[in-house]
Amino acid sequence: MQAARGASLSSSDPGTKSARVSSRLIFAVAALVGLTIDQVSKAWALANLGDQSRPVIGDWFTLYLTFNPGAAFSTGTRFTVVFTALAIIAVGVILFLSRRLGSRLWALGLGLLLAGVAGNLTDRIFRDPAPFRGHVIDFLRVPNFPVFNVADIFINVAAAVIILQSIRGVSLDGTRHDEDRSAPEAGE
């Protein structure tokens, strides 16, 4: 049984190849759909929200348009170019890691992470006041929490998926850490 499981994880196995193809497709769709939702929601916020808060669920959830030059919680507002550079590096790392995908859940997590990082990066590159110094559009507000956007939601969901997969011991390629240790024993 263990030998069969170890053999099915080899890269020459057709099932593994189809798992990689479907994982890469999930990654690409999650990233593209997520980025589209983020950018459409920001365009809507710019077109429809002014200086006033719009209640959605009383005072608990409101829409309020802000422009954030910094990172989370508006920290580091003088370092917009640094955050832009870090986001570019993050996109590159995510794309590099996506080549190893063999797990659908990892694919979803990395796809959402790419959507979130790229969504906020798009703002930093193309929005006012200047290229690579643009302010991120935030418009979702709950009490006692900074205003955020859809990209931020995707980043947090991705973090939860990545933590879950790590706790479960599942690698990017879909193998489990306990299977990695038992695979050589199965061949003996």
Residue 13 appears among annotated catalytic residues: no
Average predicted confidence (pLDDT) for the chain: 88
pTM metric for this prediction: 0.85
Q: At residue 3, does pLDDT exceed 90?
A: no
Per-residue model confidence (pLDDT) at position 179 = 56
Residue 38 appears among annotated catalytic residues: no
Distances (CA, A) of 131 to 42, 85, 91: 18, 12, 18
**Residue length of the chain:** 188
d(CA 171, CA 185): 19
Tens digit of each residue's pLDDT (9 = 90 or more) over 105-149: 999 999 999 999 999 999 999 999 999 999 999 999 999 999 999
**Structural domain harbouring 110:** 2-187
Q: How many domains does the chain have?
A: 1
Q: Which of 13, 128, 152, 178 is catalytic?
A: 152
- Of 182 and 45, the structure prediction assigns the larger pLDDT to 45
Mean pLDDT to the nearest integer, 22-33: 97
Beta bridge partners of 148: 140
Q: Which of 13, 123, 138, 180 is catalytic?
A: 138
- Of 19 and 49, the structure prediction assigns the larger pLDDT to 49
Tens digit of each residue's pLDDT (9 = 90 or more) over 33-54: 999 999 999 999 999 998 889 9
Tens digit of each residue's pLDDT (9 = 90 or more) over 68-103: 998 876 788 889 999 999 999 999 999 999 999 999
To the nearest 10°, the Cα dihedral for 53, 57, 61, 62? -10
